[in-house]
Amino acid sequence: MKLGDSVDRPTEGSEPVLRVEDLSVSYTTRKGDVPAVRNLSFTVGRGQALGLVGESGCGKSTTALAVMAYLGGNAQAVSGRVLFEGHNLLAMNDDDLRQIRGNRLAMVYQDPMATLNPVLTIGEQLTEVLRVHQVMSEKQAHECAVEALQKVNMPDATELMRRYPHQISGGQQQRVVIAMALLCNPGLLIMDEPTTALDVTIAATVLDLVEKLRAEFDTALLYISHNLGVVARVCDRVAVMYAGELVEEASVRDLFLNPYHPYTRSLLRCVPTLTAGKEAVQLSPIPGQVPSALSLPAGCVFEPRCSFSDGDACRRMRPALERAGYGRQVRCFHWERPRGLPGPGAIAGKQGIVETGEETIEALTVAGQPAARDTLLEVSHLRTIYVQRASWWKKLLAGRADRAVQAVDDISFDMRPGSIMGVVGESGCGKTSLAKTVAGLVEPSAGKIEFLGVDVTRAVEKRDAAVLRELQMVFQNPDSTLNPTQTVRQIIGRPLQVARIAARGEIAAEVRRLLRAVKLDETYLDRKPAQLSGGEKQRVAIARAFASRPKLVICDEPVSSLDVSVQSSVLNMLLDIQRNYGASLIFISHDLSVVRYLCDYIMVMYLGKVVEYGPAERIFQPPYHPYTEALLSAVPVPDPTARQERVRLEGPVPSPVNPPSGCRFHTRCPRRGGGELCETRQPGPQTSDDVTIFCHTPLAELARSRPVIHAPKKQSF
């Protein structure tokens, strides 16, 4: 086959750009062949966007690699065909595939550094694609590369061509990868979780870009994500995968408003929204886990977790994928059953699962009630400054001085016992620095921290042991905090022993009780972190944090890398043990939907400063601080009927080494109207209905803002 044969575009009404037919992929392991994808079929037409969703382990990324004909050495396509522009990629040799990949078929990965070469400049990497696939001269390739960077809204594209990947931000790296993927005007673009690691504002810009370029180039898009809000915004159709199988396919509108398969309904029930908190709704995690590909159920693969199972028939027979109306497919015996009604005796007695979709929660005994005081934590004029020290030879030869990074700048707040405070903002705004300073991991540069009536304005090693027991922290990555050589029993038992929470003979029983509180059973006691999934590791980390029965737990992005089902389970679990222990939480996240669901109060930070603070339900209603408004506008909503006001921030976040004068947000503010006042003077606080806003714009004018989200959908399934 010649390259020219695959480059010609299909004509109107011809075959879809991508047709996957009965694809099955297996991995060869020491335990035997593992069927990761089974009998998968779908199509993607020209200019169409298909979303591929499901929990981790469902086969989404394996499908993407199979479509690229880029499976690993221990993986093979057992059966089926992958037809791209009429040609079966699985039957091609390496030379033919090399001409297609990056040319007519391109992929954008979750981590842009997995694509970019750290030792080559951006310009070298972009021009290489064009010179290999389009046979251009160096000058022509350079001009086309600059034009591609401009199309993805990269400022000063010519200068950027001379930079290395590490010299640009994560959002810019992702935009460079997208530009690289679109250089040759591919017929199909595959995107595997391209915005998961990005801030909500940068992710919104990237998604805007994807929509614009898809319309401009008429490129087909296969979009893989576990973020249902992103899929609702970007895609035309959605394919839901579970345990390697396609269980439902429909248009975005049909699937989100009227899902048929019990798994799809369960996924949508796991997603928090911007419109309701924990008082109004309760997330419904899916019980159990995705089954191992080595031990799949004999019948319906979702039956062990399904609330519609009728027992014997679902366990014995595997449902076929059948048509369920125009443009819809579903793999379920009971998809026509009325929504919201569980099957006969579906959940009772099934693997310890109760009707709420959660395992039975044993009430925890609280050893002492919260202190009888109105304020648990009081932070006054806190500052945290990191000093970047220049080497002596740079000081001598280049005249470079030490630089100060103002990570936290004059922040004051207080917390009540038993409350949950959310802290939100873009990367680099100071959220984690604030958390580490309060926890004592970083010594404050100025200000005062008072906890339980005791002055703790010092590093953790200088704090009293009793204070250390009352203040714990849960980090984003449990791998960095769990000792890989210890068992779960040792990890949770250690703080019980050190803090003397339980007598030596009672530690084992207390460890078991903490495990049950985080929805893990005794089979996990002798496992090590390497034998746990990401969600299980995070649960162990949370159990350890609550082992000393602290009054305050600081959670730094504890659910950002988890599937929606595991995330909802962890959030509900945090609420349960927080209430039972009477603890308070500081919850740091860039996901405003999660913060809205969990928190009582929300603090919005920008470049080391607090820009807005107040009760959670009020923060999400006008008047907004302009930065809060932009954050809300950028949140992807899992509802195709909802309308969002489009507010986008221009330009990158300024460096905390040299922050703007006056209002720090004025360089990006879409509502900037104070002129010289915004540029020269820091805004003071304005208060409205318990919400404090730091902005020069009068509250009356801010109150005239339209709500960011209009007519959100009410779930009825």
The beta-strand segments (E) located in 429-583 are 446-451, 454-455, 471-474, 552-556
599 φ, ψ to 5°? -95, 155
pLDDT score, position 57: 82
The Cα angle at residue 68 between residues 224 and 252, in degrees rounded to 5: 30
pLDDT score, position 174: 83
Is residue 201 a contact partner of residue 426, using CB atoms and an 8 Å limit?
yes
Tokens standing for residue 36: 């990761």
> In the chain, what are the domain boundaries?
377-598, 621-710
Beta-bridge partner residues of 386: 405
3-state SS of the chain: helix, strand, coil percent to 5? 35, 20, 45
Judged by DSSP in three states, 77 sits in strand
Amino acid identity of 586? I
Best CA proximity match to 110, nearest among 169, 177, 47, 165: 177
pLDDT score, position 335: 85
Supply the DSSP string of 221-273, one letter for each residue: EEEE-S-HHHHHHH-SEEEEEETTEEEEEEEHHHHHHS--SHHHHHHHHT---
Map 575-603 to HEC letters.
Answer: HHHHHHHCCEEEEECCCHHHHHHHCCEEE
- Mean pLDDT of successive 10-residue stretches along the chain, which has 717 residues: 35 72 92 90 94 90 92 90 93 89 87 88 93 87 90 82 86 85 88 81 83 84 90 94 95 94 92 82 84 87 88 87 90 77 36 32 35 79 84 65 82 93 89 92 93 91 87 86 92 88 86 86 90 84 90 89 82 86 90 91 94 92 90 89 84 78 90 79 90 92 84 56
Beta-bridge partner residues of 42: 20
Instruction: Spell out the residues 6+ positions from residue 70 whose beta carbon is closer than 8 angstroms to its own.
Output: 101
Tokens standing for residue 653: 């976040």
Q: Distances from the Cα of 328 to the Cαs of 324, 335, 336, in angstroms?
A: 5, 12, 13
Cα dihedral 54, 56, 57, 59 in deg (nearest 10): 50
Best CA proximity match to 564, nearest among 594, 600, 598, 519: 594
Element (H, E) at 107: strand 105-108
Right CATH number for 377-598 from 3.50.50.60, 3.40.50.300, 3.40.50.2300, 3.30.70.3170? 3.40.50.300
Q: Distances from the Cα of 274 to the Cαs of 283, 286, 631, 642, 644, in angstroms?
A: 13, 21, 12, 12, 12
How far, in Å, CA of 567 to CA of 581, rounded?
Answer: 21
Question: What is the reported pTM?
Answer: 0.84
Best CA proximity match to 437, nearest among 384, 481, 377, 381: 384
How far, in Å, CA of 707 to CA of 246, rounded?
Answer: 38
Tokens standing for residue 657: 């080494």
pLDDT score, position 400: 65
How far, in Å, CA of 559 to CA of 571, rounded?
Answer: 8
Map 544-576 to HEC letters.
Answer: HHHHCCCCEEEEECCCCCCCHHHHHHHHHHHHH
Task: State the number of CA atoms in the 13 A half-sphere of 644 facing the CB.
Answer: 21
The dihedral of CA 169, 170, 171, 174: what is its sign? positive
Is residue 482 a contact partner of residue 528, using CB atoms and an 8 Å limit?
no
How far, in Å, CA of 319 to CA of 321, rounded?
Answer: 7
Beta-bridge partner residues of 693: 612, 686
Using DSSP bridges, classify how beta strands 220-224 and 188-192 pair: parallel, antiparallel or unpaired.
parallel
How far, in Å, CA of 149 to CA of 139, rounded?
Answer: 16
pLDDT score, position 419: 93
Entry field: residues in the chain: 717
pLDDT score, position 89: 94
Instruction: Spell out the residues 6+ positions from residue 285 whose beta carbon is closer than 8 angstroms to its own.
Output: 270, 357, 358, 565, 566, 568, 569, 572
DSSP letter assigned to residue 521 = -
Residue with tokens 């429909």: 250
Judged by DSSP in three states, 135 sits in coil
How far, in Å, CA of 592 to CA of 603, rounded?
Answer: 11
Tokens standing for residue 244: 């390697």
How far, in Å, CA of 150 to CA of 363, rounded?
Answer: 58
pLDDT score, position 369: 37
How far, in Å, CA of 103 to CA of 379, rounded?
Answer: 56
